[in-house]
Amino acid sequence: MNERKHMTARTRIKICGLTRPEDIQAVNEAKPDFCGFIVEFPKSRRNVTVDQLRKLREKLDENILPAGVFVNAPVELPAQLLNEGTIALAQLHGQEDEEYITRLKGMTDQLLIKAFSIKTEEDVEQALRSGADYILLDQGAGGTGETFDWNLVPSIKRPWFLAGGLGCDNLESAIHLLHPWAVDLSSSVETDGHKDPDKILKAVQAVRNIEEEI
Ligand SMILES: O=C(O)c1ccccc1N[C@@H]1O[C@H](COP(=O)(O)O)[C@@H](O)[C@H]1O
């Protein structure tokens, strides 16, 4: 009998924009693969200072990898937080160029994610050329709660994060259509501007229940 073997992969999930001890408790219960902190970027309502980040991180479950999200920060800031082990990954969400990435890579062995705002095919092509370990495709400047035009996304052969307006209502279609290596959520798991433990749990469980055929 000619039996077709099906291989499945598990899509990873990151919950971003944690600011309070109760947010840490919520992710420790839901157990996403990654969580994220917006570091020293006061323009975001999800901003945390370095001191706040260090305190929050102390209570984080060791199986959840913490990412620091930076917007055009001095390169020394992510380098320091990566090398002291406060964060496991640095997500660069501003206009950091290849020179910045090369400099940061020279200062640390830890993993880098470069985020790109996707408006055109050229934006995707630029993202695919990135020297970062992971690329992240997002709608805009970050944390907008809005999706971008998914028709712009080709088949991507490197590990990548999909972000921008993802939530329980569109996670399954996004994963089946685009096959991201990981999904990244912030706005949809909030209520009244704060992280909502029930929404976080539902989103993580939704992703865990989606089996991706490879
Ligand atoms: O969330 C923010 O405030 C933020 C600020 C600056 C840079 C990035 C930011 N968040 C990133 O945005 C996406 C999630 O967006 P959404 O709210 O789910 O649409 C994610 O990559 C966050 O790291």
Report residues whose beta carbon is within 6 angstroms of any ligand 1 atom.
Answer: 16-17, 36, 38, 41, 44, 46, 69, 71, 91, 93, 136, 138, 142-145, 163-166, 184-188
Domain residues for the domain of 19 are 9-213
**H or E element that contains 94:** none
Q: How far apart are CA 36 and CA 16, in angstroms?
A: 4
Q: How far is CA 111 from CA 20, 100, 104, 133, 183, in A?
A: 25, 14, 10, 6, 17
Q: How far apart are CA 179 and CA 184, in angstroms?
A: 13
| pLDDT tens string 54-83 | 999 999 999 999 999 999 999 999 999 999
Query: Are the CB atoms for 189 and 203 separated by under 8 Å?
Result: yes
Distance 3 CA to ligand 1 centre (A): 44
Q: Is residue 16 one of the residues assigned to a domain?
A: yes
189's tokens = 């798991």
Q: How confident is the model at residue 37 (pLDDT cuts 50, 70, 90)?
A: very high
CA 186 – ligand 1 centroid, Å:
6
User: Which are the catalytic amino acids?
Assistant: 16, 138
Tell me, yes or no, whether 63 lies in a domain.
yes
Reply yes or no on whether the pLDDT at 8 is more than 80: no
Q: 85 in a domain, yes or no? A: yes
Count Cβ atoms within 10 A of the Cβ of residue 88 and give its class: 0-12 exposed, 13-18 middle, 19 or more buried: middle
Mutate to test the pocket of ligand 1, among 34, 38, 170 (most ligand atoms within 8 A of CB): 38
Asked whether residue 203 is assigned to any structural domain, the reply reads yes
Question: Mean pLDDT, to the nearest integer, of 30-36?
Answer: 98
Q: Which of 138, 146, 189 to mutate to test the pocket of ligand 1 (most atoms within 8 A of CB)?
A: 138
pTM: 0.95
126 located within any domain = yes
What is the per-residue pLDDT across 111-156, written as a single tens digit (0 to 9) for each? Answer: 999 999 999 999 999 999 999 999 999 998 899 999 999 999 999 9
How many domains is the chain built from? 1
Q: Give a yes or no: residue 2 inside a domain.
A: no
> Per the domain annotation, does 1 fall within a domain?
no
Is 4 part of a structural domain of the chain? no
CATH number at residue 107: 3.20.20.70
How many angstroms is it from 99 CA to the middle of ligand 1?
A: 23
pLDDT in tens, 146-200: 999 999 999 999 999 999 999 999 999 999 999 999 999 999 999 999 999 999 9
